[in-house]
Every structure is written in structure tokens, then in C-alpha cells.
Structure 1
Amino acid sequence: MPFTLATWNINSVRLREPIVQKLLQEEGPDVLCLQECKSPVEKIPLEGFAALGYGHVVARGQKGYNGVAILSRLPIEDAGDQDFAGLGHARHVAGRLENGVVIHNFYVPAGGDVPDREKNVKFGQKLDYLTEMRDWFQSDKPEKSILVGDLNIAPREDDVWDHKKLLKVVSHTPIEVEHFAEVMDAGGWSDVTRNDVPDGRLYSWWSYRARDWDAADKGRRLDHVWATPDIKNAAHSSRILRDARGWEKPSDHAPVFATFDL
């Protein structure tokens, strides 16, 4: 049976519970992966989600920062987590569906403002995190797996509003894009979104700083859906729900969708 998956950096699941419910009600993905939940697991408002049919949850959380959760209408079991770069952050969780598909939900460090690890510890942590992701996928090759999340890198020239202006801006620097490609190659991952939407500008994030984010449209594609080679051809119908960026008290990210016939 096909299932539809969505990934969304929600920027506080407790603060934005109403728009998570709105998404679940109006779009009805079978699986919703959230990042930057900013909540201990026990304080995630699960009752409201369960009432909408999303009674299966796999999550990792911490107070005020980071946090990843998978909400599902389908039975899903906890498949563990990894603490890349030894940060002690809740940035990864995996769940396994009954059909054997493993879903990895990631929130890669943003990396601060200065793209220099000597001047900015956070940028070094981001690169180290990506390096350890690469090494993990090289040593334990994923199969029948989907990787989603806020990877905090816009890899392609048409994944940002201005390639040249953003070459020295964290999220689009050449060294980040190189690390991103190495992670992808190590796992044999395929970019599901760009397989479906190969051409043209595509964004999933617009800064809160823009007075009118929609008119300015200075976006970046920071949120991704990947699949391993054995299931990549089962993916289709990718889209980004841009309208969600304009909902009441929105996240600065929009949800990214894909459907898998598995």
C-alpha cells in the first residue's frame, strides 16, 4: 500500500500544536516527521495528535532545543538514534514500519553565522556531524530506508534565491555542499524531491527577518527527503506546502511531502 510522508521543522511543537493539527487534518500524511520540537518527549502534546489518528510515536527530546519526532497513523517501532559529533543533542531518531522500511529523521546543526570552524565552534560541529553521518552510512550501508529532515544545507544553485550572494553564507557554502554530497554518496541516497521536481527554484525555508517573506521570496531548500536505491523508484508526488509558511504563528519552514508505493 502507498503511504505519504511529510517532514517539517516545526520550531516548537508545543507553541505550534495548532498548525501541526491543521496539517494533519487538511493534508493527512500517513507519517509526519518533525524537527526542532524544543520539548522533552513527555511534554509533546501527543493527545491531540492521537485524537486525529496519529497514535504511534517515536521521539527524542530535550528542554528548549532540538528534538525530533515521528508521528504515524501506521504502526511504527523505535529503531534507535545516533549522537553524531558527541553533541548530546536530540537530533536523530529512526523508526521502522511494519513493511520493514526504516525512516531516519534528522535535524542537522545549523552551523552558526560564520562559515569558519576556527572562528565559529558551531560551524565545526556541523561539519563534524556530517562527517560522522557519512562514516556511519559507509560502515552500515542502509537498505529499504528513507532519510528526511532539516539538513540545514541547500545544495543546488536553484535551491537558493541567489547562488552567488549565498556562496559565503552558512547553508550554501562549498564546503557544506561537499559534505552533504559525501553523506549522500556514502549511503547511496537519492534526492526524492529533486527526482520529482528536477528543474527550477525550490525552497522550504524563508527567514522570519523578511518583512514580507512571500513577496521577497528569498528562500532556501533546507529540508530534504532521500531514499535508498532499492526503493527510490517507489517514490513520487513530491511537493512543498508553501502555504504553511503563511499560516498563523508559522514555522519559518514549510513541510515537504513524498508518497511511496511500498
Structure 2
Amino acid sequence: MKIVSWNINSVRFRLDIVEQFLREAAPDILCLQETKVIDADFPAASFRALGYDHVLIHGQRMHHGVAIISRVPLAEDDRFDWQANREARHIGVRLPNGVRLENVYVPAGGDVPDREVNPKFGQKLDFVQRMTEWSASLNCPTILTGDFNIAPLPSDVWSHKALLKVVSHTPVEVEALDRLQQSNSWVDLGRHFYPAPARLHTWWSYRSPDWTKNDRGRRLDHMWATSDVAQAARSHQVFEACRSWLKPSDHVPIMTEFDF
């Protein structure tokens, strides 16, 4: 089973490249973040035309939004409010083999890494803390994936020194993500297959006219698994080339293949 996570940054605006990716990579399940569309306007018919008959969505007008699109049946649709303000940032399902699949879009956190002057940064840290509390009580085989908006390792960013005070790589965010990982001994599948300091960037800013020229990437997108599920993981791939497709997202897809 191939499972993909992709922050698509508007599923309707980028539907053409999503369809292209599905035809070329042929994943069994696609987890999307930042769909930016209410449920009634989600382009489910386009996915069903490609054989993805199971479409579970948690949308919001213009902002946020997550979805899980699948060729295999899905059950137990959960939507956790880790943001504590009803933003559409999580959707979870159970796969036919009993494994839980949780798709999450962690808040970006604004520009200033100080919760006193930037409430968005505090909301981000609180979001991760709520995830940690959920994780600590988790007692079933689970895959946790999505846009975590945190690049934890020095090799997860183009310059560790330059980004130590930049939101997404600050020590306080890294420590929060470490606590989440340790709360249930999550296996970071990206680094399981590509140990640091291997290149594994998944995001490049739109601010650069040519993202390939300065190549200032960060690894913001992750796929984790509880230890029992991680044993079934066979490969992990980052589709960096998608960043150069027509009307690209600033994120690229990541995919893990499991032996189940």
C-alpha cells in the first residue's frame, strides 16, 4: 500500500497537477492539506474518475482544509480540534487492516517566534501540545502524516545557523516536536530511510523567483508511524520534481510504501 501526503495549497487551483501525480505515482491513498475549499465544492468527482472512490473531507472556505482520498475503503472518520477553534486541520480514518491514518495540518505559526507578541506562534505550540497529549494515550497501530510546519533536524533546512530564529526551525518548536515524537516512540519514516544528514527537503518558498537556484528548502512534511506499523514500511520517497510543475504548490508530495 502506497500512502502519500501533500500540502496542495488549494486543491481546485492545482487539480491538474494532482491528477497528473495520481496517474504517474498511482498511490493507494492521498492525504491532502490546505485544500482551501468547503466540503460542498470539493472536486470529488475528479478523483472518483481516476478510481479513487473513497473521499473523506474536512473543509473550510479559503483556508486550511484536509482530505483523504483512497482506492481502498475507509472507516471511522474522526476530526480532532487540536487548534481549539474549529479550524479544519485534521481528519483521521481506519484502514481495512485496522491501522489508523491521521492526516494533520499544523499551523504555520506566523513570522515572530514569540507567543507574547505573536499569538499565532503560541497557537502552534499549543496545537502540538494537544497532539502530544493525544499521542501519549494512543493504543492502536497508527500512521501520522501531514504538514507539521516544523523542520526538526539541522539537516532538515538549507542552513541551520540562518534559521535558528526563523519560525519552523526554532529550538522551542523542535523541542515541542521532539516531545510529540517521544510520547509514543514514533518512527520518522523519512529519516528511517534517509538518515541525517541526507537531503530530504519538501518545501521551498514562493518568494524565490527560481527555487532551484538558491535551493533554500526545508523538511516540513512528515510521515510517522508507531513502531509496529513502521516494521511494515518498505520505502519512502520525496517527489522533489513536482516543485517545478505548472502552477506548483510550495510543498511536494511524500510517499511511503507499506507491506500490507
Which residue in 1 is equivalent to 2:65?
A: 67
Aligned with residue 33 of structure 2, among 32, 35, 48: 35
Which residue in 2 is equivalent to 1:194?
A: 191
Match for 2:128: what amino acid?
L
Which residue in 2 is equivalent to 1:117?
A: 115
Mapped to 2, the partners of 1:187 and 1:95 lie a distance apart of 19
Mapped to 2, the partners of 1:203 and 1:184 lie a distance apart of 19
Give the Å deviation of 1:88: 1.3
- The share of aligned pairs that are identical, in percent, is 51
Which residue in 1 is equivalent to 2:224?
A: 226
Mapped to 2, the partners of 1:51 and 1:85 lie a distance apart of 34
Count of equivalent residues: 259
Which residue in 2 is equivalent to 1:137?
A: 135
1:8 aligns with 2:1: no
Q: Which runs of 5+ in 2 are unaligned?
A: none
Instruction: Summarize deviations over 1:59-92 as a string: whole Å, max 9, x none.
Output: 1011000000000011111331110141210000
Which residue in 1 is equivalent to 2:166?
A: 169
Whether the 8 Å CA contact 1:151–1:224 is kept in 2: the answer is yes
TM-score by length of 2: 0.98
Match for 2:163: what amino acid?
L
Mapped to 2, the partners of 1:209 and 1:33 lie a distance apart of 26
Aligned pairs (5 A) from 1:74-153: 74-138=72-136, 140-153=137-150
Whether the 8 Å CA contact 1:58–1:78 is kept in 2: the answer is no
Give the Å deviation of 1:188: 2.1
Name the SS for the 2:173 alignment partner: helix
Mapped to 2, the partners of 1:73 and 1:257 lie a distance apart of 15
Mapped to 2, the partners of 1:89 and 1:191 lie a distance apart of 26
Which residue in 1 is equivalent to 2:248?
A: 250
Mapped to 2, the partners of 1:229 and 1:56 lie a distance apart of 27
Name the SS for the 1:29 alignment partner: coil
Whether the 8 Å CA contact 1:6–1:255 is kept in 2: the answer is yes
Whether the 8 Å CA contact 1:58–1:94 is kept in 2: the answer is no
Which residue in 2 is equivalent to 1:236?
A: 234
Name the SS for the 1:100 alignment partner: coil
TM-score by length of 1: 0.97
Instruction: Summarize deviations over 1:87-115 as a string: whole Å, max 9, x none.
Output: 21000000111111110000000000000
Mapped to 2, the partners of 1:49 and 1:192 lie a distance apart of 27
Name the SS for the 1:231 alignment partner: helix
Mapped to 2, the partners of 1:77 and 1:41 lie a distance apart of 18
Mapped to 2, the partners of 1:252 and 1:237 lie a distance apart of 23
Q: Which runs of 5+ in 1 are unaligned?
A: none
Give the Å deviation of 1:231: 1.3
Whether the 8 Å CA contact 1:108–1:152 is kept in 2: the answer is yes
Mapped to 2, the partners of 1:58 and 1:77 lie a distance apart of 10
Mapped to 2, the partners of 1:78 and 1:225 lie a distance apart of 20
